[in-house]
Structure 1
Amino acid sequence: MTERTTRPLTTIDVDGGIPLVRVSGSLDAAAQRPVAAELDTVFDTRPGAIVLDLSDVDFMGSAGIALLINTRHRAARLGIPFAVVAGNHRVLRPLRMSQVDTVLPLHPTVPAAVAAVRLAST
């Protein structure tokens, strides 16, 4: 298992090399840039799938929502299955209020998200 850490951001390879990018704390304008840079690095490796884990995010701002939408579009353009772990109300509430929850592949747990991208990549 490979791990890159820049707290509050961690990327590990799970389930046969699927990158799991974990974000904790706030996902707002200040945090958006390092997360976007980490996702750029992950996309550059041309992975078979990507999972973004927001389980430990305690605040989701509009910049974070924009990041999720842009990441979903980029993954779709590149044909890379993408899933978001969003099981807490601090993340789900702003996504539901902005109706972004209807266009993102949201899953309540990491195993559920990994299973979804694994299925989509077969």
Structure 2
Amino acid sequence: MTEPAHRLTTTELDRGILLVAVSGALDAATHRPVVSELDAVFEAHPSGVVLDLGAVEFMGSVGIAMLVNSHHRANRLRIPFAIVVNSRAVLRPLQISQVDAALPLHPSVDAAVAALRLVST
């Protein structure tokens, strides 16, 4: 049996902030479980959502679209949202597609949580 192309976990942090951590590839073949998990997370109306892509090894165009759509959805629902990006494998595709400036990117989970706390105060 082959190992899945990614792993996905959701953890509740302090003050109701949910951390969704993804590892492996994020592309057309692997994005559906991540989208489903984010749908469930947003439907719960948490006080904030951090999407941790620190362990993502490949980001395809479908992954980029998913990030943009998630950011827009969070804004519509008024849920503070932050994305952890600390690898070239994720940051470079975002820069090339010129969406890096439009997304709430942070270098670490701690920085992302701190940013969400500022927004919610």
Match of 1:81 in 2: 80
Instruction: For 2:44 and 2:102, locate their aligned partners in 1 and report how far apart those are by CA, in whole Å.
Output: 25
Residues 33-44 of structure 1 correspond to what in structure 2 (within 5 A)? 33-44=32-43
Residue 16 of structure 1 and its aligned partner are, at CA, apart by 2.1
Q: CA RMSD in A?
A: 0.8
- After TM superposition, what 4+ stretches of structure 1 lie above 6 angstroms from structure 2? none
Instruction: For 2:74 and 2:96, locate their aligned partners in 1 and report how far apart those are by CA, in whole Å.
Output: 24
Residues 64-79 of structure 1 correspond to what in structure 2 (within 5 A)? 64-79=63-78
Q: How many residues align?
A: 116
| Contact persistence 1:28–1:63 (CA under 8 A) | yes
| Contact persistence 1:50–1:80 (CA under 8 A) | yes
Match of 1:12 in 2: 11
TM-score (norm 2): 0.93
Counting aligned pairs with the same residue, the percent is 62
Contiguous gaps of at least 5 residues in structure 2: 1-5
TM-score (norm 1): 0.93
Match of 2:59 in 1: 60
Instruction: For 2:33 and 2:9, locate their aligned partners in 1 and report how far apart those are by CA, in whole Å.
Output: 11
